[in-house]
Structures are given as C-alpha cells and as structure tokens.
Structure 1
Amino acid sequence: MTLSGSPYSVPRAARLFLSLGGLLGLLSVAGGALAAHLPDAMFAASSGRALAREAVQMGMWHAPALLAVGILLCVRGRRVPLLLAGAAFALGVVLFSGAVGWTGVTGRHLGPVAPTGGSLLMLAWLLLAVDGLRR
C-alpha cells in the first residue's frame, strides 16, 4: 500500500491497527444501537443495560486510540512502545468490553477478565505516553 502518488509504504503494523480501530468503531456503534434498542429482557436484571453501555463506551473510546497508534507508526516508523501500546489496546478492549458486556447480558461475571483488560488498557496509555517522550 502506498499513499497517493508517493512511494511511501504504510507499515503492516500500522495497517493492522488502523483496521482494528475502524472495526472497533463499527462494532461499538452497532453495540450502542443494540444497548439502546433491545428489550429489557435481553439484559441482566439489575444493571445489565448500563453494563452493556459501559462496554460499548469503552470500545468507542479506544477505537481512536488504535487509529492514533496506526497513524503514529506511519509518521514515526516502527517503534516498540507503539507496537506494544497497539497490542495492549486491542487485547485490553476485547477483554474489558467483552467481559463487561457479557456480564451485562448474562449477569455472570468472568472473574478477573475485565480487570485484566482494564490493566492492559492503562498500560497501553502509559506506553503511548512513553513513546511521546522519546526523541
């Protein structure tokens, strides 16, 4: 893949994170529509719909983060903190949003899955900050 009229090649990792960011945005919008319009019976009794919305919101917040990682990889080149941040964003949002969404629909907790995902998301933000401080 090259940028229009330029011999500049977009790194494979950048394409991956750009694609994941777009896909996560799509899934978050679809999840938001489901959380808003499905009948109450589709959610866990006490606060299932609120948990589903939280899962969707966390996904939507991290879609632009994945896009940013992809763009930064294009601009700065392949850098370990950026690659690790992108991987942590991708895995963290799947674990966190997946576990919180699952709890919202079924009422059953998946143990330490959501906290693990949340920890990965915090690590990803830290890695992004570390990369920003590098020359």
Structure 2
Amino acid sequence: MLSFSSLPRSWRVCGALLAGTGTILGALIAHLPEADFGPGGRAMAHSALEMQMWHALALLALGLTTQGRPAKALALGGCGLLLGTLLFCGGVYFTAFTGAHAAHVAPTGGSLLILSWLCLAFGWLRA
C-alpha cells in the first residue's frame, strides 16, 4: 500500500518512467510517416511530448527535494501532477494519432495540472 512517506520515491520512479517513455515517443513522433497521425497530429503530439517531459522533470525534482512525509498540499500537488500529466498527454496523444477527440480527457488533465501547481505553491508557501 502506498503511504505518504513513500510518495517522494514514487514521484522519482514515475518521473523517470515518464521521461523514458517520452524519449521513446519523441523518436516515434520524429520518425513515423505523416499517415500515422491525424490531421495536424505530429505538431499536437510534439506539444504533448513537451508537457510530458517538463512534468517528468518536475516529478523528479519534487521526489528528490521532498524529505520524509510530505505535507498534504504537497502530496496532493505531486499526485495531481502525475495524474494530470497522464490524462492530459494521453488525451492529446490519442487525438494526435487517431484524429478523434477523447471527450474531456485532455481538458480534465490540464485543469488537474493547474490545480496541482497551485497546491504545490500553497504547500511550499506554508513550509
């Protein structure tokens, strides 16, 4: 079971996994033929890749700088960064490769990312 004290380690692991899969996706985005993307999909996928990599670095930094059990605001912010990145980038990748929109997945993920950054700011302000 995941506990508050194991969150920093989980953030490091998930950040590294996001960076690793981002590297793979970067190669695919660069080398796949245009026919494998929906209309405007390559540019869209590249934007999702940038968001994924920036948030991978953020999770790594959060995991490396958080000692012990994080405050609730930091815990919410870190977990929200992970979930928001998966939802936002996953929704954008889906649209980029298929041309179909994934309902409200990307906007929900983006909203979650915004709220997560606000939670982190609040948590660091209180620390």
TM-score norm. by structure 2 comes to: 0.91
Give 1:106's match in structure 2, choosing from 98, 105, 115.
98
Give 2:60's match in structure 1, choosing from 49, 67, 84.
67
**How much identity, in percent, do the aligned residues show?**
46
Coordinate RMSD, CA, aligned: 1.2
Match of 1:58, as an amino acid?
Answer: M
Matching residue of 2:16? 22
Structure in which a larger fraction of residues adopt helix: 2
Q: Tell me the SS of whatever aligns to 1:109.
A: coil
* Count, aligned residues: 123
Q: Deviations over 1:7-41 (max 9, x none)?
A: xxxx4111101100010011111111110011111
Question: Is 1:123 the equivalent of 2:115?
Answer: yes
Higher Cα radius of gyration: 1
Q: Deviations over 1:22-63 (max 9, x none)?
A: 10011111111110011111111x201111111111100100
User: 2-side partners of 1:85 and 1:72: how far apart?
Assistant: 14
Report how far residue 110 of structure 1 moved: 0.9
Q: Deviations over 1:79-133 (max 9, x none)?
A: 1111101111111011100000000000000111100000011111111111111
Structure 2 gaps of 5+ residues are none
Matching residue of 1:3? none
Q: Tell me the SS of whatever aligns to 2:66.
A: helix
Question: Is 1:37 the equivalent of 2:31?
Answer: yes
Question: Is 1:94 the equivalent of 2:86?
Answer: yes
User: 2-side partners of 1:98 and 1:78: how far apart?
Assistant: 27
Matching residue of 1:58? 51
Question: Is 1:134 the equivalent of 2:126?
Answer: yes
Q: 1:75-86 counterparts in 2 under 5 A?
A: 77-86=69-78
Higher relative contact order (CA 8 A, sep 6+): 2
Structure 1 gaps of 5+ residues are 1-10
